[in-house]
Structure 1
Amino acid sequence: MISLADSLVSASSRPLAVRRRPDLVSKRQHYQGTSYWIVKEPIGLNYFRFQEEEFAIMNMVDGHTSLDQIKQRYEAQFPPSKITVEELARFVGNLFQSGLLMADVPGQGDQLKKRAEEKRRKQMVATVSNVLAIRFKGIDPERLLNWLNPKVGWLFSRPAVICGLSLMLTAVLLVTVQFDVFQSKLPTFQDFFAGKNWIYLGITLAVTKILHEFGHGLTCKRFGGECHEMGVMILVLTPCLYCNVSDSWMLPNKWHRAAIGAAGIYVEVVIASFCTFIWWFSESGTMLNQLSLSVMFVCSVSTILFNGNPLLRYDGYYILSDIMEIPNLRQKSTTILTRKLGKWCLGLEEPDDPFLPQRNQAMFALYSIAAVIYRWLVVIMILLFLYRVFEPIGLQVLGQVIAAASLYGLIVHPLWKLGKFFAVPGRFHQVKKARMFATLSVVAGLLAAAFLIPLPHSVYCPLEVQPQDAKQVYVEIPGTLLKPARPAGSQVHQGDVLAELSNLDLELEFVRLQGELETLDERIVSLQLERLQEDHFAADAANVLRETEKRHESVRQQLAQKQQDLDRLEIVAPVDGTVMPGPLVSGRPPVEGLLPTWSGTPLDEHNVGAYLQASDLLCQIGDPQKMEAVLVIDQSDRNFVKVHDRVEIKLSHLPRQMFESRIESIATAELEETPQRLSDKAGGELLTQVDRTTGREVPLSTSYQARALLPNNENMLRIGLRGKAKIHTAPQTIANRLWRFLSQTFSFEL
């Protein structure tokens, strides 16, 4: 049996036992001013790009022509180019391995079987290494798309695209102009990702991706392309469709190819824009409202993080590749990076490759690095997301299996390719030993530095300025402010009146109880006289007297309590000191039928006549020269912070002023209520939510309070000022920081 290799190494004058497949489809195209031929292999739907010379050689392989004859024809057709028989043999062998040639020698069934098995093995490895996006081939949708195109193809016409983009722009303007309203309408993170909404998210992802893929297919048909493969893709454990529009490579216009790549994004953007208006004007909490928000989330996240991002091999990547006219952009960028690293680190010579970009190679290398880093980040985010989904239902093991399979594609497969690179015979002898050992020394030094050298470490957290050891004075009995309170800065002594309130309901109740008490007094006197005048005081009358006396005592106690409440409407200073205002509060607009509320601080004169609720902070009494910063530290940073650590403080109203202090104390108990002005709902930096049990505003993550003293000798500080603290903690190595990041990300402590 004669193999293909035997036929190629035989006498160069013997006719080749292979010939070009007659079913190949080819079209001439131009890339960056150079003419190329695109060849389509219709059975496997594989596409190849050849230069004029390569395409001519492939056409010369007709089963009757020898290598010598091909060499002569080539050199006659493309002077002054020269080619050797060995180069021709290698090129013909590559064509055969790619399935573009067919052999007329016996035994080719075994060769085709081996090739099919190798292809299946590679597909299996690719599937295992990318379990987050598994494809299953399905149907040939050509007939379906041909039927749909006359009916809905107009959606991808120029007028329809202009209308769709206008709708998108209008939705963006609506959200941008009324961003505060947009934020207020959004549910909390916990509510949006609650169990009941997972069904909506799953349905949304499946439906939008199906429409996304039909967008690709219909646009491809509109520009004259074909689509012969549509199947099922399990995308992040959600079934949806995929549509193979590789036939767009046969289109000569690069903008048409880019439009086909962008069609799916266009469909999702239009759907998201339409759902933005539905969500905006529909009743919050309804099924339609939740579905619309799910569509907005899925379409926007998938477009920004995945489809529209050229760092991943999705729509954005192919759009960029088409516009730049560089097919296989990722592979070529990786090849450039690999060759540069081989040259710099191992001293390997860079072989000439006319198919690689010759200009701006540094940019392509940087693109390859950015793509690898971004892919790592996206995979880690998805794995963390899935782990959090599986954890509550006890399926963490499934999340760990998916993580292991994904990490195989990120770590094991690249290492295997690296080993394969060095396994090439003679490769190691090409390496310049001095360059290799220098590279290893640098790598070892960097690793040693990462594990052994501690670097300065800081913790950042929000803060609020408060008076040090001040006594807070709260309103105990609600009421209307009768006259201006003692102004801020006033010196007071214990017992001095700070403010006087009036509570009409309380006063009316006091008067009612007084009247009732007088009536009971008269009733008791009457019953007692009746008992003295009658010789036989009836038992029923005695019971009435006892009940009346009991009621009298109860009313007397209530009256005494009301008197105490009335006395507390006069708020007095509990200690000696200076009156200081509490944090500023924005007033609510007046509502007809309700008492006016106060704004600013209760000490402000314009609040005379305003209604103060119980537990409202009237003022604070202390020393205005002694302030402190109240820091809120996240639990992930709590263990780094120690008492006496140095703190640098910047306040929002004094951005150029730096205050220095040290940690005075750290709370051991969790923060149960967020300082109002630090909440993101009040413009602060601390993400908070409402505790449904207590109704208090609490941090999203467990936090602790710390205090640092702030002298106010120049009277620059005001109560309630917000700022940012930089706490200088013990130095940490890079390895420790990386391990901490991974521990927090994947919750290794679990």
Structure 2
Amino acid sequence: GMLNHLCLNVFFVSTVTTVIFNANPLLRYDGYYMLADFLEIPNMRPKAEKQLQQWFAWWCLGIDVPNDPFMPTTGRAWFVLFAIASSVYRWVVLFGITVFLYTVLKPYRLQSVGIMLAVGSVSAIIVGSGWNLYKLLSTPREDPMSKVKLTVSAAVVCLLIAGILFIPVPWYEEAACYVEPVGIEHVYTRIPGFVEEIKTQPDKTIEAGAPLLVLKNPDLDDRLEQLNLQEKLQQKEMESYEATGDRDGQRLATEHLDAIRDQITELKLQISQTSVVAPIAGKVISPPRIPAPKRERSREQLASWTDTPLAPKNEKAFLEPRTHIASIAPGDEFHAVLLVNQGDRGDLKIGDTVRVKLDLYPDQVFDGKITTFADRYLEFAPPALSNKYGGPLPTVSDSQGREKLTSPVFQGTIEFEEQPPSLTTGMRGRVRFVVQKRTVFDWVWRWFRQTFHFRL
């Protein structure tokens, strides 16, 4: 996404200019020096870390550290906040550089070098923090540590960790959806062929079994003609064996004749499937439109059909197997089709109440209830929901031009409590549902995984 792209570019551009051009291996960017000059505080980071140590020693351990005359007397809270932010920043930079080195060195099978550098850096930070704590505790002093503050600090830390890990925090999640008629049936080609005749057009009402279009496959016709000729020859061969009394030859010829007739039966079944018929009665709905290829691309390959297969201009065009011809809607009632990520599937069940916001009505929210869920994940996304066409789902195009989802998604249906007006097939929207069982750690970890995608 845009956030990932901008953050990555800012990070690497700043790192290159800081380390290479400014010869600053400490990765203190220009903002650090600008802030130090603006506040007129030299060595701002060491002073901030020392101030953080003093606060930690007094409030958590009850140790009174002597004041440093060179430390600032005002704005100490900002120093502590800066020290905490610097520590977080240090870990972020360490993690980013480690991942970068790992991915760069992996093609050369030198990823162990990046791992060793990461282990060394982490060990240095941990050892340094432990050494500072040891010096703080071993410093001679008149008053002992406060057991009350130490106990309270330990209890607060334990409660915070327990709250983050175990206390559920209700929050909402969102998923993509689109609208389609209830009971809709999608019609696809089974056999490849050229469009011989278009029998109907979108928005017309047809009966079950009525043809939508007729295909012609010359290869199947030629093969059927050859098999009919082979059947006649094999029939004559069997009759000749019968006339001569050769029972073994007659038996073998009969087996060959039965095999040819089985092939003819199978081939006639395939030829019958060149007539694409409606599985149910209802209204014909257009499939997603295929735009015309760009001029540069049309020069590289032969032009195929465009718009929809039922468009009159596509007569004599070649259709591949599994081409979406049309959809048949048996009625005027609509429902929403929910596409939920695998990570959220366990938080939803049939009967749960959700809220739907459609792109056509951005200021209105419609309540609904989940009625069904698919047993297996969906591999391909509807083109309207692909991020290549402005949708929310990230997809990649396969060799057949289908939009394949980059992560597992499960499909469900939502029944509206009150039908929204003026719905059309394929209308996009968002579904919001409340998750009750996730802790703060689960929410933060989920946000991190969704924001940063590292493929090692």
Say whether the fold is shared (TM-score over 0.5): yes
1:471 aligns with 2:185: yes
Check 1:637–1:599 CA distance in 2 against 1; reply closer, same or farther (3 A cut).
same
Tell me the equivalent position of 2:437.
Answer: 731
Gaps of 5+ in 1: 1-178, 184-298, 532-536, 746-750
Asked if the contact 1:579–1:619 (Cα under 8 Å) also holds between the matched residues in 2, the reply is yes
Which residue type is aligned with residue 346 of structure 2? N
**TM-score, normalising length: structure 2:** 0.66
CA deviation profile, 1:540-599 (whole Å, cap 9, x unmatched): 9x989x96x988877766665555444333222122233223334344358479764233
Distance in 2, matches of 1:593 and 1:319, equals 50
1:331 aligns with 2:46: yes
Asked if the contact 2:203–2:283 (Cα under 8 Å) also holds between the matched residues in 1, the reply is yes
Per-residue deviation at 1:629? 1.4
**TM-score, normalising length: structure 1:** 0.44
CA deviation profile, 1:432-489 (whole Å, cap 9, x unmatched): x999999888767755654564321334444444544432211122233345453333
After TM superposition, list the pairs within 5 Å mapping 1:383-394 onto structure 2. none
Larger radius of gyration: 1
Distance in 2, matches of 1:722 and 1:631, equals 11
1:573 aligns with 2:278: yes
Distance in 1, matches of 2:13 and 2:25, equals 11
Distance in 2, matches of 1:331 and 1:556, equals 91
Check 1:382–1:607 CA distance in 2 against 1; reply closer, same or farther (3 A cut).
same
CA deviation profile, 1:344-383 (whole Å, cap 9, x unmatched): 988979957557697x877665443332223233445667
Distance in 2, matches of 1:584 and 1:715, equals 24
Check 1:713–1:739 CA distance in 2 against 1; reply closer, same or farther (3 A cut).
closer
1:630 aligns with 2:345: no
After TM superposition, list the pairs within 5 Å mapping 1:283-298 onto structure 2. none
1:480 aligns with 2:194: yes
Aligned residues: 427
Distance in 1, matches of 2:124 and 2:425, equals 55
Tell me the equivalent position of 2:381.
Answer: 675
Asked if the contact 2:372–2:414 (Cα under 8 Å) also holds between the matched residues in 1, the reply is no
Check 1:421–1:307 CA distance in 2 against 1; reply closer, same or farther (3 A cut).
farther
Distance in 2, matches of 1:700 and 1:356, equals 53
Asked if the contact 1:481–1:610 (Cα under 8 Å) also holds between the matched residues in 2, the reply is yes
Which one has the bigger helix percentage?
Answer: 1
Pick one of 199, 210, 213 that aligns with 1:499.
Answer: 213
Pick one of 452, 458, 467 that aligns with 2:172.
Answer: 458
Query: What is the CA RMSD across the aligned residues, in angstroms?
Result: 5.7
Distance in 2, matches of 1:686 and 1:593, equals 29
Per-residue deviation at 1:735? 4.9
Which residue type is aligned with residue 614 of structure 1? P
Asked if the contact 1:458–1:728 (Cα under 8 Å) also holds between the matched residues in 2, the reply is yes
After TM superposition, list the pairs within 5 Å mapping 1:647-662 onto structure 2. 647-651=354-358, 654-662=361-369
SS of 1:578's equivalent in the other structure is strand
Asked if the contact 1:462–1:686 (Cα under 8 Å) also holds between the matched residues in 2, the reply is yes
Distance in 2, matches of 1:650 and 1:454, equals 26
CA deviation profile, 1:607-662 (whole Å, cap 9, x unmatched): 4443321111112223352323131323x444333333333334456544434333
Structure number with the bigger relative contact order (C-alpha 8 A, sep ≥ 6) is 2
Which residue type is aligned with residue 367 of structure 2? E
Per-residue deviation at 1:342? 7.6
Check 1:329–1:444 CA distance in 2 against 1; reply closer, same or farther (3 A cut).
same
Per-residue deviation at 1:715? 5.3
SS of 1:582's equivalent in the other structure is coil
Which residue type is aligned with residue 454 of structure 1? P
Distance in 2, matches of 1:497 and 1:744, equals 46
Distance in 2, matches of 1:385 and 1:319, equals 22
Asked if the contact 1:492–1:576 (Cα under 8 Å) also holds between the matched residues in 2, the reply is yes
1:303 aligns with 2:12: yes
SS of 2:45's equivalent in the other structure is helix
Tell me the equivalent position of 1:196.
Answer: none
1:583 aligns with 2:250: no
Tell me the equivalent position of 1:374.
Answer: 89
Check 1:620–1:357 CA distance in 2 against 1; reply closer, same or farther (3 A cut).
farther
Per-residue deviation at 1:496? 1.5
Distance in 1, matches of 2:354 and 2:63, equals 49
Per-residue deviation at 1:510? 5.4
SS of 2:309's equivalent in the other structure is coil
Report sequence identity in percent. Answer: 27
Asked if the contact 1:596–1:611 (Cα under 8 Å) also holds between the matched residues in 2, the reply is no
Distance in 1, matches of 2:356 and 2:101, equals 39
Tell me the equivalent position of 2:454.
Answer: none
Asked if the contact 1:307–1:314 (Cα under 8 Å) also holds between the matched residues in 2, the reply is no
Asked if the contact 2:336–2:413 (Cα under 8 Å) also holds between the matched residues in 1, the reply is yes
SS of 1:368's equivalent in the other structure is helix
Per-residue deviation at 1:494? 1.4
